[in-house]
A and B are shown apart, each in its own frame.
Chain A
Amino acid sequence: MQCPSCQFENMPGSGRCARCGGLLALASATIDVHPPRAGRVSKSVPRIWSRWWSLRRWLENHRDAAARPFRELVTRFDQTDFTLDTMLRCIVPGWAHRYRGNAARGGLFFTAYIGCLVPALVFFGTSLGSMFLGLAFATHVASAVDALVGRFATVGDRLAFMLVCSAAIAFGIYAPIGLGISRFAVPIQINHHISIFAENDVLWYNPLAHVKPGDYVLYAVPNTTLTGTNNHTRYVLQNRTIDRVAAVAGQHVQVKGDKLYVDDVAVPERPPTQIVAKMESGFVVPEGRLFIPGDGFIPTGARLNLSEWQQLCLVPQSSVAGRIFFRSQPLWRMSTIEGIVSGSE
């Protein structure tokens, strides 16, 4: 009896092949000869496999070219470099890396820095902007440390050098830039509705700007205590606020009817009803003062006489922090002060 699998001649009557163990009496056995078939869904799995092979082969073929920038990205400098050329190039994150021959790592630092700096500038004046600015600074410090030293013997060495670098970059780059900019533009986020500005607006003011009538200024309210109409309450007015300048030094302020006139020209502000009768003769704004008839901060239950009102409205120029010129936040309401004023009208 010949085995169908290995052609070995077995003894007659054997059930299985003595050599390979194959079934000899297959003819009489009931065996399903139709293989199982795959369903439509399970057929798609091998296609995924074959595409995986295709992708893998492509990656293998292009591995060297594709891996080169990644290899550069993870390569740190082994040698320190404290030459002036390298140190000066630490002003821009990634520039020193490029100078030392690792452009990919430098590019990574530069991209990360720009990725933090741009949102920091966009959201400047808000807590989010501060966070991004902090990240940008940290990236800058990390870039400088990495470019100058790369590898440290201990973590302590690294921390100490990072502190030194942080101080150098903070005082050498960021502090001068910050101080320089703050002479012309300072952001302030307001936390409640003031005049024509809404809550959470980020406004920019210029401390050096020459103030003219009609400008909006940030100023410190002259410290004044008002008595309530019930004779028991005391209202202490202080803090900073924003309002429109109605008149500057030398201009004549007068109340006619219930309207306020500056050099015989009506202004939109209204005087408090308590002082209307006493203001017909008017007054001239003294030298070194601005007339800002802000009434938003005067409590409704306060008793107000003419001298108190004049003390509140004739603001010393030294109390003026600066002229508001721009609103940067929210982004969809970004505008110059002219735009804001025309919008509110």
Chain B
Amino acid sequence: MRFDKLEFERPPDRPETGAPAPRVEKDEKYWAGLADENRRMGNYENALRFYSRALEVDKTLVPAWVGQVQMLVQLQEYPQASLWSQKALEIYPNNAELMAAQAQSECRMGNLKQAYALSDTSLRQRGESAYRWQVRGELVLAGRQTKDRHCFDKAQLADKDWLVPLETALIYIYYAVYHLGQQRAQMAVEKAPQAFYPWYVLGVCQAKAGFETAAVTSFNHCLQLCPRHEGALSRLSELQRPQWPFARLLGRFWRR
């Protein structure tokens, strides 16, 4: 695909307006804003590119470095995420967020011991952030312990943004704990009912947990807010297609 790497400054699905767009200064905040916007829509590939554009303008923008690693994790490119967080940590040796990001990528690669060490160090740093607790919660979840809910609650207390429960739901989906993921996605939906991506994630959790009617409603909500959402369309058609029970069970296990 020749053009799939093209960057659009305006996110897709934004309604066209007749008035000329006001001239904006394309500084690091602008690119970081676009990255955040895409991240909230689940466009992690675009978000990663916008974080890179932000860093092209200002290499000292630590959240953009962290965001890059987070996007690589969301894109399931864990060795690259680990490598990139290491590189960022060479520039900012004791940055807590970067350590947490590296802990997350190590955890996804199965290096729980190393991930715990990094998470411990990041939690010992000054200040408090949602992401550090989120990563801690993920480690607890991966280690099959029971305090993950506590860590994710702390993350939500540290940051009231709906992105926190949403990404927590994504973590639960990764570890196939769909009923808890559904709770977090529900929180995100309650905080931001106008955003389509939480609806989509909620639908995924519901479909995986076996609540297919509720999942259809959630995907329909998602499609009302973003009519061309490919993920919601495909999952909806999959749910509405008649299938043998065994094939459905197999598909549910296989498809992530």
Once A49-B108, A51-B256, A58-B253 are accepted as A-B contacts, the answer to whether A37 and B77 lie under 8 Å apart by CB is yes
B225 within 8 A of A: no
Query: In residues 83-118 of chain B, which contact A (Cβ within 8 Å)?
Result: 83-84, 91-95, 108-110
A54 within 8 A of B: yes
The one of B92, B108, B176 that contacts A20, using a Cβ cutoff of 8 Å? B92
Quick check: A54 and B92 within 8 Å, CB to CB? no
Q: For the complex formed, measure the closest distance between the CB of B91 and the CB atoms of chain A, giving whole angstroms.
A: 5
Tally of chain B residues near chain A (CB < 8 A): 37
Encoded as 1 (CB less than 8 Å from any B CB) or 0, chain A from 19 to 35 comes to 01111001101010111
> In the complex, what's the smallest C-beta–C-beta distance from B27 to chain A, in angstroms?
14
Q: Which residues in B have their C-beta under 8 angstroms from that of A56?
A: 176
Interface string of A35-52 (1 = CB under 8 A from B): 111100011001101110
Known: A21-B93, A26-B59. A47 touches B84 (CB 8 A): no
Instruction: Tally the A-B contacts, defined by beta carbons under 8 Å.
Output: 90
Smallest Cβ-Cβ distance to B256: which chain A residue: A50
A37-B4 Cα distance, complex, nearest whole Å: 15
Q: Is the CB of B256 within 8 A of A54?
A: yes
CB of A35 within 8 A of CB of B52, answer: yes
Question: Min CB distance, A222 to chain B, in Å?
Answer: 69
Interface contact B52-A46, CB-CB below 8 Å: no
Residues of A with C-beta under 8 A to B77: 37-38, 42-43, 46
Report whether B92 and A57 are in contact in the complex, using a CB–CB cutoff of 8 Å: no
CB B35 to nearest CB in A, in angstroms, measures 13
Q: Shortest distance in angstroms between A32's beta carbon and chain B's nearest beta carbon?
A: 9
A53 at the interface (CB under 8 A from B): yes
Place the interface of chain A in its size category: 20 to 34
Whether B59 and A33, one on each chain, are in contact in the complex, defined by CB atoms closer than 8 angstroms, is yes
**CB distance B256 to A20 under 8 Å?**
no
- The listed residue (B56, B126, B144, B254) touching A33 by CB distance below 8 A is B56
Chain A residues contacting B62 (CB-CB under 8 Å) are: 4-5
Name which of B69, B77, B84, B144 has the most chain A CB atoms within 10 A of its CB. Answer: B77
B174/A50 in contact, CB under 8 A = yes
Query: Which residues of the partner chain B approach A23 to less than 8 Å between Cβ atoms?
Result: 91-92
Complex Cα–Cα for A58 and B178 (A) = 11
Q: Which residues of A contact B61 (CB under 8 A)?
A: 4
Inter-chain contact A21/B84, CB cutoff 8 Å:
no
Question: Known contacts A23-B92, A33-B59, A58-B253; is A38 also within 8 Å of B174 by CB?
Answer: no
**Which chain A residues numbered 52 to 87 have a C-beta less than 8 Å away from chain B?**
53-58, 60
* A22 and B174 within 8 A (CB): no
Q: For B91, B144, B253, which residue has the most chain A Cβ atoms within 10 angstroms?
A: B91
- For A27, list chain B residues within 8 Å (CB): 59-60
Q: Is B175 located at the chain interface by the 8 A CB criterion? A: yes
Interface string of B119-135 (1 = CB under 8 A from A): 00000001000000000
A50 to B48, CA, bound (A): 22
Q: Within 8 Å CB of B76, what residues of A?
A: 38, 43, 46-47, 50
Which residue numbers of B lie inside 8 Å of A, CB to CB?
Answer: 48, 52, 55-56, 59-62, 68-69, 72, 75-81, 83-84, 91-95, 108-110, 126, 144, 174-177, 253-254, 256
5 new A-B contacts at CB < 8 Å, known A35-B48, A51-B253: A35-B83, A47-B76, A49-B109, A50-B256, A53-B176
